Structure 1
Amino acid sequence: MLPVSAGISFRPEHFHELMDAQRPGLWLELHPENYLAPGGARPRMLDALASRYPLSLHGVSLSLAGPERPDPQHLAMLAALVARVRPQQVSEHLAWSRLGQRYEPDLLPVVRGHAALLRTAAHISEVQDALGCQIAVENPSHYMTLAGHDWDEPTFLTELSVRTGCQLLIDVSNLALSAHNIGTDARHWLDQIPAACVAQFHLAGFADDPLLGAALRIDSHAGPVNADSWLLYRDALARIGPRPTLIEWDQRPPSLARLLAEREQAQRWLTASTTT
């Protein structure tokens, strides 16, 4: 289990600084896809980090909501990585990215129908059985309204948790961005999520679309956390309670000192929520 503190996305350029000194309460998130190949520098780097910091593996390619079962070869490699590193959390997205031999390097939305619920639940159960642990499922970013849903998103996620025993990862910035883009009520969304299902929060920066400007926000992970996300995070802490919280800054990453300063802001909110 991750400590109830703030963590950061790991970037290889920060490796030596992170290994030079222990930082109390800090945990690291890594994308497992970058560490599946046997041998080489990356697995050795990951083993060194695991000896010093709690780790969370945050996948982007299991395609849980897709029409096909998780790729068996990929799942076997992921299971081997989990067995070796023993992360405190494994997570994925409520999205899909694979159809047959075609893979899209994006997290595509899904119409939340009854068939999609059964299919996604089966995929989550298969992944959990293969890994020998619970996973957490993240709410996606939305850029347009899709027709044909049978379930609203918080109810769909909660039902997945009830049926499979998985946990939920609430990406607060995805929630704020989606509320802006498609007009949902982010605070009402939070009210519908049972606190007991929530394992983790994420925070990240988003940007205005290059063509549409402020009318459409893009989940860029390319800058500091936006003010809207910080305000919604405060509400998430009040409604759900303190949870391990990740600062995601994956594109154009800053210095480690700048990233840790962003992390400290989340840590102050977390600390305040446990003392009020």
Structure 2
Amino acid sequence: MRFTKFTLNRFDMVLIMQSIQGVGISLKHQHFQEFMNHKPDVPWLEIHTENFFSQASTSSKYLAKIRQDYPISAHCVGMSLGSAAINCPIREQHLHHIKSTVEWLQPGLISDHLSWSVSQGGHYLPDLLPIPLTEEAFTIVANNIKQAQDILQRQILVENPSSYLTYVDSPITEWQFLSSLAEETGCGLLLDVNNIYVSAHNHHFDSLTYLNNMPLSAVKEIHLAGFSTEIVEGKELYIDTHGHRVCDDVWLLYEQVIKRFGALPTLIEWDTNIPDLAVLLEEKSKAEAIITKVESIEKSSLIANTVNGQS
């Protein structure tokens, strides 16, 4: 089966992106009531799409009310974009569940990961598993992205994963792989800064080299999160747990991201050890302060250059 490259005219893209701006946070059921009662000052919220497949569920009923006041971004974990399973009914069924959710939720952005979770036998594995970065894998992932965009009739964003192992046969760098996917399929990219930091530590590459090789026009959203550490075979391994505050080094890396890509929609992502809402709002304020700092420096530099040019 052939799938087409997804195209979105500039006007439609502007309309979609208008609703998702600034620094948002993950929406968790622990905070539903606070959003209902107090409407905290947050530009937008992101949900895990799979948690809202049933529109009749209690969670979906809360979300239907909350979305009246907040733009929503839909982050998926089950598209299995890296799956090599052919004619897999369970994967296609999952995509149609996502489509149904997207139709009533009307999210500003839709995203999933560069990973796989569906086996050839049609079994779903409860994790985001890594793929080999080869030409063969590229063709598989590109076709899966095109299929997802055909079904959803929306552009999807593909997120760079956190990584704890690499395949012996992976001749393509991750940034080359993702850049080529955006060019081939018309998808956008979701840049997870914490994942870059975690993977750079685990696999000994330079985070800034990764950032500087990502295409400016393809990156549409940024994620920030915390990680934990474990000692494995005598070595410290960083684990992307989404259960802690953003670390200082990731904040520094985020500043470089804003300098390169501009003030793209940014998410404070938190999925485990859910804290009080106030903690997420504090992290949101830190991200906003970095954006303000970078924009202020750039404005001052522009003014200085203009004055010098007139001298």
TM-score (ref. length: structure 1): 0.95
Corresponding residue number in structure 2 for 1:89: 109
Corresponding residue number in structure 2 for 1:165: 186
- 8 A contact 1:19–1:52 mirrored in 2: no
The structural deviation recorded for 1:124 is 0.5
Corresponding residue number in structure 2 for 1:26: 43
Corresponding residue number in structure 2 for 1:230: 251
The structural deviation recorded for 1:166 is 0.4
The structural deviation recorded for 1:4 is 2.8
Work out whether 1:185 is the aligned partner of 2:202: no
Residues 149 and 210 (structure 1 numbering): CA distance in 2 closer, same or farther, change over 3 Å? Answer: closer
- 8 A contact 1:195–1:241 mirrored in 2: no
Of 133-142 and 62-71, the range deviating more from structure 2? 62-71
List gaps (5 residues or longer) in structure 1: none
The structural deviation recorded for 1:3 is 3.2
Cα RMSD after superposing both structures: 1.6
* Percent identity over paired residues: 39
Which structure has the larger Rg over C-alpha atoms? 2
List gaps (5 residues or longer) in structure 2: 1-16, 299-311
- 8 A contact 2:72–2:107 mirrored in 1: yes
Q: Give me the whole-angstrom Cα distance separating, in 1, the residues matched to 2:261 and 2:234.
A: 33
User: 3-state DSSP class of the match of 1:8?
Assistant: strand
Corresponding residue number in structure 2 for 1:138: 159
The structural deviation recorded for 1:211 is 4.8
Work out whether 1:262 is the aligned partner of 2:283: yes
User: 3-state DSSP class of the match of 1:91?
Assistant: strand
The structural deviation recorded for 1:143 is 1.1
**Equivalent residues in 2 for 1:71-220, closer than 5 Å:** 71-99=91-119, 100-209=121-230, 211=232, 215-220=236-241
User: 3-state DSSP class of the match of 2:217?
Assistant: helix
**Equivalent residues in 2 for 1:6-85, closer than 5 Å:** 6-68=23-85, 71-85=91-105
Could you list the structure 1 runs, at least 4 aligned residues long, displaced by more than 6 angstroms after superposition.
none
Residues 245 and 214 (structure 1 numbering): CA distance in 2 closer, same or farther, change over 3 Å? Answer: farther
Q: Give me the whole-angstrom Cα distance separating, in 2, the residues matched to 1:145 and 1:110.
A: 8
The structural deviation recorded for 1:27 is 1.0
The structural deviation recorded for 1:90 is 0.3
The number of equivalent residue pairs is: 276
The structural deviation recorded for 1:40 is 2.3
User: 3-state DSSP class of the match of 1:170?
Assistant: strand
User: 3-state DSSP class of the match of 1:225?
Assistant: coil
User: 3-state DSSP class of the match of 1:195?
Assistant: coil
TM-score (ref. length: structure 2): 0.85
- 8 A contact 2:21–2:43 mirrored in 1: no
Corresponding residue number in structure 1 for 2:262: 241
